Amino acid sequence: MLWKDEGLLHLGAEAEVRSGIWLGISAVKKKRLPRTWRHPDLDRTLTRRRLEAECRAMRRLSACEIRIPALLQLDRATHTMVMSRLPGSPLIELLREGVDDASAMLSKVGGMIRQMHRQGVVHGDLSTNNILWSEEEPALVDLGLSRLTTEIEHFGIDLHVLQEILSGSHPEYEDAMSAVESGYLAFDEAAGPTPDSSGGALPSAEQVIKRLEDIRSRVRYHG
């Protein structure tokens, strides 16, 4: 057998995630679940599109130095993926336990997010559950809501999701988002001008941070 199951990791509305061993490699198996309230044909079409979008994002990010799971097996018929299991602890656990230098950690997280955005990829669910920390470096998991884009609004929303998580789940770190933004901007300073993607011109880090500020203002106004 290619897959040796070790048990359920997570069962959500979108997918079932299990841990196991795939050809001797520590891995996770993610199976997208049918949405029974949708017409079966429509559900299969939408599920296939989400699966393909996730795979495209993973392929693009795996070509650079961002730490993400490796795609080991894909079964389009059953909407199932097998991916390598990354070492490390979720950022949510580390922040709750307390860390000595949260600003340095979150600055690295911001740099990783900017590196992802420079590939024309938005994560779609940038929570501290989906960011791992190992050997003083961050990694990303669960790209199930990711997409390829050049739209500045999508990048700003990606950061705003993380801001809401940090302020809601980790309010004791008052300058958490400032540290993320600092790392985000610093990545462009070190890497140089933003390259064009296959889909067109990508916004700079400064432009994305300015859009994030606009999104904050809109949320406060409508809230």
Query: 214 burial class (0-12, 13-18, 19+ CB within 10 angstroms)?
Result: middle
Residues 108 and 210 in one domain: yes
**pLDDT value of residue 69:** 97
Q: Model confidence at 223, in pLDDT bands (50, 70, 90)?
A: low
**pLDDT value of residue 14:** 84
Q: How many CB atoms lie within 10 A of CB 7?
A: 7
Please tell me the least confidently modeled range out of 17-31, 121-135, 144-158, 184-198. 184-198
**pLDDT value of residue 78:** 93
Residues 128 and 190 in one domain: yes
Residues 72 and 168 in one domain: no
Query: 112 burial class (0-12, 13-18, 19+ CB within 10 angstroms)?
Result: buried
Single out the residue of 51, 78, 68 nearest to residue 144, CA to CA: 51
Residue 18's domain spans which residues?
Answer: 3-84
Residues 144 and 198 in one domain: yes
Residues 53 and 66 in one domain: yes
Residues 156 and 181 in one domain: yes
Residues 71 and 30 in one domain: yes
Percentage of the chain beyond pLDDT 70 is 98
CATH code, domain with 171: 1.10.510.10
Residues 9 and 94 in one domain: no
DSSP state of 90: E
**pLDDT value of residue 200:** 82
Rounded to the nearest integer, the mean pLDDT of the chain is 93
Number of independent structural domains in the chain: 2
Residues 56 and 105 in one domain: no
Find where tokens 């791992």 sit. Answer: 132
**Of 46, 68, 84, which one is at a domain's C-terminal end?**
84
CA distance 154 to 203: 11
Residues 177 and 114 in one domain: yes
Please tell me the least confidently modeled range out of 20-24, 70-74, 97-101. 97-101
Find where tokens 């079966």 sit. Answer: 40
**Of 32, 67, 84, which one is at a domain's C-terminal end?**
84
CATH code, domain with 21: 3.30.200.20
Residues 9 and 63 in one domain: yes
Beta carbons of 148 and 199 less than 8 angstroms apart: yes
pLDDT at 221 over 70: no
pLDDT at 53 over 90: yes
**Of 30, 62, 84, which one is at a domain's C-terminal end?**
84
Residues 69 and 50 in one domain: yes
**pLDDT value of residue 222:** 61
Question: pLDDT per residue over 154-168, tens digit each?
Answer: 999 999 999 999 999
Q: Model confidence at 25, in pLDDT bands (50, 70, 90)?
A: very high
